[in-house]
Each structure stands twice: as C-alpha cells, then as structure tokens.
C-alpha cells in the first residue's frame, strides 16, 4: 500500500513528526503535490481548509485528514474525507493505516461519516521521534496549562504539559548546526507551565552543542516568565539576539477576559529586561478582539508603540478558531487611527504581520503542528 503526504508548507513540522511515527511501523509517507493512490494524508488548519476541501472531496484515493481544523470540526471534515484523525496523530495514524491495509474498522481517535470514538491514549513525547528522514524542529513540550480564549493549543493537546527528555532532545539536536524548538513556552520546559523550573531549562541548554535559538519562533516564551535569571542563562548559552513573547493586548481588562494569566505590567517589565540585556523583544498583539472597547484598542496601540521603541511587534487581527471559547465571536473593526498608526509603523519597518488579511498573516508564518 502506497501512502502519500500532501505537501502543505504550513504543515511541514507535522509531516516530519508523523512521517517519523509511521516509519517506526513500516509505513513511508512520500511527499506529493496532490492526491495519489492508495492513501493521501493531509494536515489542515482553519485558514487553508477551504483551499483543499474540494481536492479532498474529489480525490480518487483514500483520504486521511488531520490537523487543527480537522480535529475541531471532525464531523464537518468527515463529510468530504474518508478518515479524520482527531487530535494527536503519532499513535493514531499508524494504527489507522494498519486498519486500512487489513480492511478493519478504524481505531479510536478516527472519525468517519459513520461516527467517532475518542482516543483512549495520550502521546508521550519520548515514545515517538520528533523527526526521522524528514527533518523538522524539535518539539520539546506539548500542552499548555493556560486557557486563552482564542487559542486551540490546550484544546488539542490538553492543559498538562508533557516534555521530551533532555537526553532525547540532545540526541536529535546533534543533527543540526542551528537548533530550534517547538514549544508553547520555552521557559516552561521541565515544569507544570505555571511554576517555572529554570534549573531544568539550564540542564537542557547546557546539554546542547551548536547554535541554540531559544525563546524565538516557533518556541516563544510568556512575558511573566522573563526574569533577569532567565535572560542571564539565555545570553550565556544561546545564539539568539531576539526574544519572542505574546502580549496580545494593552488592556488588563481584556487580558482578564482572555484568561491570559499575565498583566500589562508583566509585558512592560519583560520589554525592559530584554532591552537591558541586549535582546530585541519581538511581541505579539491581537487587534479586533470581540470584547475590546475603543479605549482598550487605544491602550493596545500605545503598548505597541512602546514596544517598538525598543524592539519589534507582530500584529494579528482576531480570528475566531473552531474549538475555542471565542469560536462564535466576531472580530471588532479597527479604529481609523489604529489603521493609520499601524500602517506608519509597518512602513518604518517596526511591525510585521497583517491586521486586515488572515491569509497574509498566516502564510508568512512558520509551519503549524
């Protein structure tokens, strides 16, 4: 049985991880630019889903679809795909391929038009290689204890953080000259995500040989985790000259409604610490949140301007994602003054991203998981 992976640039890291997981079971996932017999696998999100829906529906082969959108909207996707892998795929996808080959019913964790039985397992990162023949970033942590209203991560991977061991990370990192990680919060490595364990972060960083980029996309940090001790460690052991973290709003009221778990003061303190330690802060913001007032939006704009005096900002326009608490919400329009100031900051090279077109914002980013 021939198995193909539909090449979608934004899903390259998923390809690396799932190709490695399938390889252990004797299945080779060959990259393809379209559906191919016998089986073609897809990983889609809520922005690119519309680009591939008709292709999947009309494919002259067995189609297997996973990814953030498929996991959140598995009933919808099962109407045009043969099989939908819901949630983590390292165990489920090889089990499904075996079932297809043997002519059996799909395993738990796979939805079809006939129904869905939830998976009864949790993936342990050390039980599956981060990549094999197809290289990808090394995922060191999965899950997030926070419950930000716009974010799919805790809904896909749970709120309990799971970590890959230092020995396993070091073994795979040895294959790179430049070492980068996938994690929802790099400084939370080895911890529960709330009570930071810098001793474990230090053990990881000191175990690595090569140029280590830690706390940069796709493995950012959270602002309240940034301390002088953490920055001393990063400056001493890592190659990056930037630190990437999310502020999302300049309003404490909005941050509380989002359940972000930090304050505006945490962001200001993190920016100042980065500047004092020679690191450029790169800070994410979301405009157009559904419960954002005019004053809240102006406060976020003020914080963006403050950040860009010392570093860079990456701007998003709110998009309600399926499976999140804000999935039914509508984005709030931007104030004319917001559009004007963001446009000027962009022309000056002080901000990146898109606050008008989700696809521009998304397709300039690094692959999703």
pLDDT of residue 199: 98
**Nearest Cα to Cα of residue 190 among 159, 156, 163, 218:** 163
pLDDT of residue 355: 83
pLDDT of residue 357: 60
- Please state whether the peptide bond connecting residue 86 to the residue before it is cis, i.e. omega within 30 degrees of 0: no
Over residues 218-237, the pLDDT tens digits come to 999 999 999 999 999 999 99
pLDDT of residue 217: 87
Q: b/e string for 277-315 if b means 16 or more Cβ within 10 A?
A: eebebbbbbbbbbbebeeebbbbbbebbebbbeebbbbb
Over residues 291-307, the pLDDT tens digits come to 999 999 999 999 999 99
108-119 average pLDDT score: 97
What residue ranges define each of the domains in the chain, with the CATH number in brackets? 3-116 (3.40.50), 137-363 (3.20.20.70)
Check residue 225 and report its DSSP letter. G
pLDDT of residue 116: 97
pLDDT band at 358 (very low <50, low <70, confident <90, very high): low
- 61 in Cβ contact with 35 (< 8 Å): yes
Mean pLDDT of the chain: 95
pLDDT of residue 121: 86
348-365 average pLDDT score: 69
pLDDT of residue 361: 46
Over residues 232-265, the pLDDT tens digits come to 999 999 999 999 999 999 999 999 999 999 999 9
Q: Strands 141-142 and 162-163: what pairing? A: antiparallel
pLDDT above 90 for 320: yes
Over residues 130-164, the pLDDT tens digits come to 999 999 999 999 999 999 999 999 999 999 999 99
Q: What does pTM read for this prediction?
A: 0.91
Tell me how far apart the alpha carbons of residues 202 and 193 are, in angstroms, rounded to a whole number: 16
pLDDT band at 356 (very low <50, low <70, confident <90, very high): confident
Long-range contacts of 163-169 (CB under 8 A, 24+ apart): 163/125, 163/189, 163/190, 164/125, 164/126, 164/130, 164/138, 164/139, 164/140, 165/126, 166/203, 166/204, 166/207, 167/207, 168/125, 168/126, 169/138, 169/140, 169/204, 169/207, 169/208
């Amino acid at each position: 049985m021939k198995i193909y992976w539909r090449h979608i640039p934004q899903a390259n890291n998923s390809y690396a991880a799932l190709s490695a997981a399938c390889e252990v079971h004797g299945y080779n996932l060959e990259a393809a630019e379209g559906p191919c017999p016998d089986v073609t696998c897809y990983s889609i999100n809520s922005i690119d889903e519309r680009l591939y829906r008709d292709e999947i529906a009309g494919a002259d082969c067995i189609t297997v679809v996973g990814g953030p959108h498929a996991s959140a909207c598995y009933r919808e996707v099962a109407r045009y795909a043969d099989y939908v892998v819901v949630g983590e795929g390292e165990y489920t996808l090889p089990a499904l391929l075996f079932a297809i080959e043997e002519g059996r019913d799909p395993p738990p964790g796979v939805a079809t038009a006939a129904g869905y039985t939830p998976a009864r397992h949790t993936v342990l990162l050390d039980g599956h290689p981060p990549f094999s023949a197809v290289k990808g970033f090394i995922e060191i942590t999965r899950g997030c204890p926070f419950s930000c209203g716009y974010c799919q991560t805790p809904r896909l991977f749970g709120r309990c953080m799971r970590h890959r061991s230092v020995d396993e990370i070091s073994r795979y990192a040895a294959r790179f000259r430049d070492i980068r990680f996938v994690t929802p919060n790099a400084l939370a490595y080895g911890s529960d995500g709330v009570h930071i364990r810098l001793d474990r972060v230090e053990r990881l960083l000191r175990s690595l040989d090569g140029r280590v980029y830690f706390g940069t996309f796709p493995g950012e940090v959270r602002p309240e985790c940034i301390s002088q001790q953490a920055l001393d460690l990063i400056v001493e052991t890592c190659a990056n000259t930037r630190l990437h973290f999310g502020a999302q709003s300049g309003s404490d009221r909005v941050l509380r409604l989002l359940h972000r778990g930090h304050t505006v003061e945490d962001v200001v303190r993190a920016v100042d610490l980065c500047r004092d330690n020679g690191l450029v802060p790169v800070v994410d913001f979301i405009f157009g949140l559904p419960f954002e007032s005019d004053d809240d939006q102006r406060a976020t704009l003020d914080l963006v301007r403050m950040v860009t005096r010392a570093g860079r900002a990456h701007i998003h326009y709110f998009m309600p994602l399926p499976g999140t608490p804000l999935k039914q919400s509508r984005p709030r329009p931007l104030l004319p003054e917001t559009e004007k100031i963001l446009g000027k900051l962009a022309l000056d090279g002080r901000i990146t991203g898109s606050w008008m077109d989700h696809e521009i914002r998304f397709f300039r980013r690094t692959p999703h998981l």
